[in-house]
Structure 1
Amino acid sequence: MKLRTVIIAICCLFALAGQADEGMWMLGNLNKQTRQAMKELGLQMPADRLYSPKRPSLKDAVVSFGGFCSGVVVSEDGLVFTNHHCGFSSIQQHSSVEHDYLKDGFVAHNYSEELPCPELYVRFLLRQEDVTRRVLSAVKPAMDEAERANAVDSVMLAIGEEVSHKDSTLIGIVDAYYGGNEFWLSVYRDYNDVRLVFAPPSSVGKFGWDTDNWEWPRHTGDFSVFRIYADKHNRPADYSPDNRPYHPDYVAPISLDGYHEGSFCMTLGYPGSTERYLSSYGIEEMMNNTNQAQIDVRGLKQAIWKREMDRRDSIRIKYASKYDESSNYWKNSIGMNRAIRRLHVLDKKQAMEQELRRWIGQTPEERERLLQLFPDLELNYKSRREANRAQAYFVESFLNGPELVQLALSILNFDFEGEEKAVIASLKAIIEKYANLDLGIDKEVFTALLKEYRSKVDSVYLPEVYTTIAEEYGGSDQAYVDSLYAHSELTTPRGLKRFLEQDSTYQIYDDPAITLGIDLITKFFEMNIQMQQASGEIIRNERLLNAAVRRMYASRNFYPDANSTMRLSFGTVCGYAPFDGAEYDYYTTTKGILEKARAHAGDVDFEVEPEIVSLLSSGDFGRYGDEKGEMNVCFISNNDITGGNSGSAMFNARGELLGLAFDGNWEAMSSDILYEPKMQRTIGVDVRYILFMMEKYGGAENLIRELKIKS
């Protein structure tokens, strides 16, 4: 066996022995077993340096970025590093054909040049508390699932509100863990004045685009830089020119020492959601319904968008952010279904469930309450199969499809009675959607998706609009769409203005787009009602399954599924062998950028500006180069992450920043439902490459001077 293969094998086995690679651990509930595993792998920090509700700790440098990504505070003046794709929509909002920050990048050389991003906020975690006993005290044995949910939700909301009543700058949120068997309170503080400071050109931040997305080896400089602002007392405040850079409780130091194979690495961020305890029936439903609908429908929509984006710069700027968001989960669904089949995930789940069946049958107290667990799961998933499939295609084809439909539904559901701040934010979101809408493209998308939905579902799930198309438009989807866009006032902001001003000559409920929206909502709720009983039973039985697995394997160290709360994952920097005859190294260098640019000449996804080619070709990397004088771009570890972890800080054993997590690998796309230790890797951008691009390409020496750099 080659030495390199031996190293990979030892790395993976060592991680398995310590249960180091698998798990998204709650910082407020790190048990002795988990802390010991981290120490054995090489962690050089005590647990209270990672998390403490009473004194500054590493968790105080990590933020939820906008509620959809993660970030890390790296300066005493509130600089935040996150991914380029996390800041993409903000970069796009400030871009125009004249100032194309998406294509050319952006750098602020002083505070006055930093660009406000009113849609953004960052969230700091202050503390976590187990409130399971209080929440479940509201649950009575005679309650059905709907009654249980209402009782639990009421207590969760009350506990959260108590936090805000004591301190209006705090937010309390109670989240369910282990399928609703445990509940924890997280206390946060949000800062709403966030400004764009630095963005590399897309040829760096998005290098490889869809082709390289979810792939390793990777050469993408997926980073951007923002700054948090606060009032003169360092407290949260809405945007104001008088606000000052925020001074954090803890700043993440940055390491220039790099890493080697087997180096300890931990990732801290806000993973969105996983379904590691989901039954095999739920996995099968996810594959065939949710994932397949995203694959089919988004593939059609994105092909239309991409064609027009490549033709016109104005469309590229308008559609870049929404295309990026859509295509990310489209490719994720393709990879997940592929990995589930290739890695035999269903077989593994079914084998575990068979073992659980035997245990239930052999344990009298379990047999009495769980004898019907699996028959009930199978029956109820089967009962809602067709309606669930139709609803998955419905959501993608209509609710996430034509933007005119999305606008109509937003206006239809507009809350005039909400808080002033929320009303203004809703209006801005609608206006932003109009600003990035091309009616010709949207009409083509709508026509294509009408046909796609009809071809995928039973006729019983067709909304009333299909009868209208058949009877009034001779079955022509195109004729219906042309008429809809010609007669609706909501195709431009003028209709919104007339609605808001309560123009007596405009009856919004007579607008054909609103009529369509009501038709779609009606059909959506019909599907929900049809599935209501089965869905309630599924929620109950999945919760019972989750609890039963933990009882059967009582000696194991279980972690809860991700639910957008702060989590720690840890392990080692480690290559892998994806298939027979292939071995992947644990890092990439700038040589790969130049190689890919040459190999994909003429492909816009791999275009690199001549200035960057010259800079990388020079080999003059200074203190940012490794011991061989090379510039590392990306690296991988066996840390356990998922969506929402984008922008998460990747730290070394001393809690110093090594880079930012931004992706997973194609071979382990089933990781949201089953962790594969030999395959799953976290892809991160090396912080040295980040600093090199900021200083040498962006000329942002002012920002470099702010950082706490260690070597």
Structure 2
Amino acid sequence: MRIKLAATIFFAACMAVAHADEGMWMIGNLNKNKQAKQVMKELGLRMPVQKLYNPKKPALTDAVVSFGGFCSGVVVSEDGLVFTNHHCGFSSIQQHSSVEHDYLKNGFIARSLAEELPNPELFVRFLLRTEDVSKRVLAATTPVMKESERRMAVDSMMHVIGMEVSDKDSTLVGVVDAYYGGNEFWLSVYRDFTDVRLVFAPPSSIGKFGWDTDNWMWPRHTGDFSVFRIYSDKQNAPADYSPENVPYHPKYVAPISLDGYQEGSFSMTLGYPGSTERYLSSYGIEEMMNGLNQAMIDVRGVKQAIWKREMDRRPDIRIKYASKYDESSNYWKNSIGTNKAIRHLKVLEKKREAESSLRDWIQSTPGEREKLLRLFSSLELNYNKRKETNRALAYFGESFINGPELVQLSLEVLNFDFEAEEKQVVARLKKLLAKYEGLDLAIDKEVYAALLKEYKTKVTSRYLPATYAKIDTLYHGDIQAYVDTLYKTSALTSPMGLKRFLERDSTFNIFEDPAVSLCLDLIVKYYDMNQEMVESSEQIEQGERMFNAAMRRMYADRNFYPDANATMRLSFGSVRSYAPFDGARYDYYTTVKGIFEKVREHAGDPDFEVQPELLNLFSSRDFGRYANAEGDMNVCFISDNDITGGNSGSAMFNGKGELLGLAFDGNWEAMSSDVVFEPQLQRCIGVDIRYVLFMIDKYGKAGNIMKELQIAR
């Protein structure tokens, strides 16, 4: 049958290797993907594909780690050194910082193993192998199951298969993940290491240069890197932190290239991208824009303005709030850029054209028509049914569940599991106490009062929790008076209240505490709002899964990469400049010259301040072997590799499998990349590995680190 040209182009952009730079490809079946292998070789891959991933022999993927479950990293020494981004290590750096030892501002250098700093909550994860278990998982389902029954059966089988791995070997972790909207399932077998220590961090004037202003932007001049080390027991096996532990010896170490790159140089990225929604229907994208994204934009904007004001006023607050502000603002700006790009690039219009072609194909294909006749009407109906409640729930989550820290602490106390293993109980207690240490009650009070007002302006009265009625009746509508009383009377505003709860103090009834009473009101409203959407949400889940499968059947002759789901993926392409808009062209790399330009342009802005000793170092032009061909110092570069959140810290390799840099960001013009890939615009921003080494060597004078690295000659 005849398919509309625009729709054909759109599907090609979303689902096939129509562009060499598109795709977050699964490692486990890469050797079977002849088309992807051929394109990689044509672009410049010089190493055998089987040396990228081989569960039986050391391979490049053995040097790549999931860093903390939220970023990626790469092993660069025989003694377990790991390179990742500065913003990935930011929380750990912040936890070790104080006004007296401000590692955020001044950086950190361990001159010996004894000086390296432990991070109890941090872990790294190595992938050992993957396996397709789709048949086994789907065997637990039947065509007549309701979606809720299917989900329970699938989840149960995924859990069973995963547990079989650790039952056979307690040092391993088995995780089964869903792919292609729940139409396929793969097992990943991992080994986790929980003793990870901080080795090197540049000053934030390097690692966070430009902060929010430059976030998601190109050109970029941010030295976004930090260095950690993995420790093991003396048998090279995973072990909890102990002074007796020794540096871990990995299966494979990533070599480092000083040769740099040119326009068109091959580049591949290995890491753990978090999530994309490339196959989501237009109805789902529209809901995401108006719900979760807009809620983040509105609510976090209010919260962060209060945080930032106080961080700029006081050094102690800057250190306390640095990590949570960084995490919050990252997704806040991402949401702004995503919504803007979706509108500017007319993503919804393109999706709807593609869906129109799919409708035509279904109508003209008897077997499909019988199964999918009502697919689009069902999706449209059920998205409309939950539209208002889903939007309110997004604002509810941002305003309360992810809003005031007193609420977050109280919810954690309510859900504390005394029956867990002692190790887990201790770890959770430490985490709670760390949150108290990072809390400023005056700031949190102001945030809560502001968010109470913000939420009320964004939803109708039927979505207000019972707390608002209490404010009206007991406080005559005075939100500030209510908040003042709450923070004054709750025992959970300090660790003392937590201590009374944990010691089962008979004089302390946790359910009478006003903060807990508030949380119970919130839980009730949250449950009610979710219940309103149960039926429509199940229909949407089923419809999106069927929609995903139908698109793959429609284009059965193409290779499809699945959406990102926090499993290891390979993307590949070329180092490449781009034209962001008419009359402009952005080069593919930046140099330290741009640092001086931005310092002058943003004089007086703390986000662009750089210590004089660093500026003097750059001015000296003593770049040595780290200089480019013209004698300048490259800072960052861009490629058309396909990345998303979670890829931060991913290794960027050349065609020989040598490290070129570390991925750390995407670009503003293609912020809709989680729902559609725009090959002419989307770029992966990486910090040049030569700049990383220059900072470690010339600024940090950390010869102990440099001696460990395998620098390709």
Scaled to the shorter chain, the TM-score interval is over 0.9
TM-score by length of 2: 0.97
1:585-632 deviation per Cα after TM superposition (whole angstroms, max 9, x unaligned): 000000000111111111100000000000001111000001110100
Q: Which residue of 2 aligns with 1:22?
A: 22
Q: What aligned pairs does 1:71-470 form with structure 2 within 5 A after superposition?
A: 71-470=73-472
Instruction: Pick the aligned partner of 2:66 from 59, 64, 67.
Output: 64
**Residue identity opposite 1:299 in structure 2:** G
Gaps of 5+ in 2: 1-12
TM-fit CA distance, 1:18: 6.0
Conserved 8 A contact 2:77-2:254 = yes
For 2:410 and 2:160, the matched residues in 1 are separated by 33
Q: Which residue of 1 aligns with 2:711?
A: 709
User: What secondary structure sits across from 2:224 in the alignment?
Assistant: coil
User: What secondary structure sits across from 1:545 in the alignment?
Assistant: helix
Following TM superposition, the consecutive aligned residue runs of length 4 or more in structure 1 with deviations greater than 6 angstroms are none
User: What secondary structure sits across from 1:569 in the alignment?
Assistant: strand
Conserved 8 A contact 1:18-1:41 = no
Conserved 8 A contact 2:17-2:559 = no
Q: Which residue of 1 aligns with 2:7?
A: none
User: What secondary structure sits across from 1:635 in the alignment?
Assistant: strand
Gaps of 5+ in 1: 1-12
TM-fit CA distance, 1:420: 1.6
Q: Which residue of 1 aligns with 2:567?
A: 565
TM-fit CA distance, 1:47: 1.5
1:517 aligns with 2:500: no
For 2:675 and 2:557, the matched residues in 1 are separated by 22
1:28-86 deviation per Cα after TM superposition (whole angstroms, max 9, x unaligned): 11111111111111101112100001000000000000000000000000000000000
User: What secondary structure sits across from 1:669 in the alignment?
Assistant: helix
For 1:75 and 1:601, the matched residues in 2 are separated by 40
Conserved 8 A contact 2:126-2:192 = yes
1:197-253 deviation per Cα after TM superposition (whole angstroms, max 9, x unaligned): 000000000000000000000000000000000000000000000000000000000
For 1:629 and 1:701, the matched residues in 2 are separated by 23
**Residue identity opposite 2:84 in structure 1:** T
TM-fit CA distance, 1:17: 7.8
For 1:306 and 1:330, the matched residues in 2 are separated by 14
Q: What aligned pairs does 1:523-542 form with structure 2 within 5 A after superposition?
A: 523-542=525-544
Q: Which residue of 2 aligns with 1:624?
A: 626
TM-fit CA distance, 1:108: 0.2
Instruction: Pick the aligned partner of 2:500 from 498, 501, 510.
Output: 498
Q: Which residue of 2 aligns with 1:688?
A: 690
For 2:675 and 2:423, the matched residues in 1 are separated by 38
For 1:360 and 1:499, the matched residues in 2 are separated by 60
TM-score by length of 1: 0.97
1:538-586 deviation per Cα after TM superposition (whole angstroms, max 9, x unaligned): 0000000000000001111110000000000000000000000100000
Q: For the aligned residues, what is the CA RMSD?
A: 0.9
**Residue identity opposite 2:651 in structure 1:** A
For 1:649 and 1:695, the matched residues in 2 are separated by 20
**Residue identity opposite 1:637 in structure 2:** S
For 1:651 and 1:424, the matched residues in 2 are separated by 40
User: What secondary structure sits across from 2:268 in the alignment?
Assistant: strand
User: What secondary structure sits across from 1:197 in the alignment?
Assistant: strand
User: What secondary structure sits across from 1:175 in the alignment?
Assistant: strand
Conserved 8 A contact 2:119-2:198 = yes
Conserved 8 A contact 2:17-2:23 = no
Conserved 8 A contact 1:70-1:644 = yes
For 1:43 and 1:27, the matched residues in 2 are separated by 16
Conserved 8 A contact 1:82-1:660 = yes
1:373-431 deviation per Cα after TM superposition (whole angstroms, max 9, x unaligned): 00000000000001000000000000000000000000000011112222112111111
Identity across the alignment (%): 73
Q: What aligned pairs does 1:661-700 form with structure 2 within 5 A after superposition?
A: 661-700=663-702
Q: Which residue of 2 aligns with 1:586?
A: 588
For 1:17 and 1:172, the matched residues in 2 are separated by 30
For 2:167 and 2:291, the matched residues in 1 are separated by 43
TM-fit CA distance, 1:19: 2.9
For 1:562 and 1:418, the matched residues in 2 are separated by 32
Conserved 8 A contact 1:18-1:37 = no
1:643-677 deviation per Cα after TM superposition (whole angstroms, max 9, x unaligned): 00000000000000000000000000000000000
For 2:144 and 2:691, the matched residues in 1 are separated by 59
Q: Which residue of 2 aligns with 1:35?
A: 37
For 2:587 and 2:495, the matched residues in 1 are separated by 52
For 2:650 and 2:458, the matched residues in 1 are separated by 38
Q: Which residue of 2 aligns with 1:614?
A: 616
